[in-house]
Amino acid sequence: MLRSFPIKQTQQTAKRSTSGQAATFKRCQTKKLKVLDDIKYIASAMLEERCEPSEGVMRIAKLFEALSMSEQMAVEFPSIFEHYDCIKAHPIKEERKALAKQQRMKLDLARMKSEAKLEQGILDDAKKSHNFISCIRVY
Residues of the chain with pLDDT > 70: what percent? Answer: 84
CB atoms within 10 A of CB 62: 13
Return the higher-pLDDT residue of 6 and 42: 42
**Helix axes of 7-47 and 53-66: crossing angle, nearest 10 degrees:** 170
Query: Over 70: is that where the pLDDT of 17 sits?
Result: no
Q: Average pLDDT, stretch 9-27? A: 69
Return the higher-pLDDT residue of 46 and 1: 46
Nearest to 44 by CA among 128, 139, 137: 128
Positions of E strands within 61-110:
none
What's the confidence (pLDDT) of residue 136? 75
Mean of the per-residue pLDDT values for the chain?
88
Would the pTM count as exceeding 0.85? no
CB atoms within 10 A of CB 53: 21
What's the confidence (pLDDT) of residue 25? 85
Query: Over 50: is that where the pLDDT of 5 sits?
Result: no
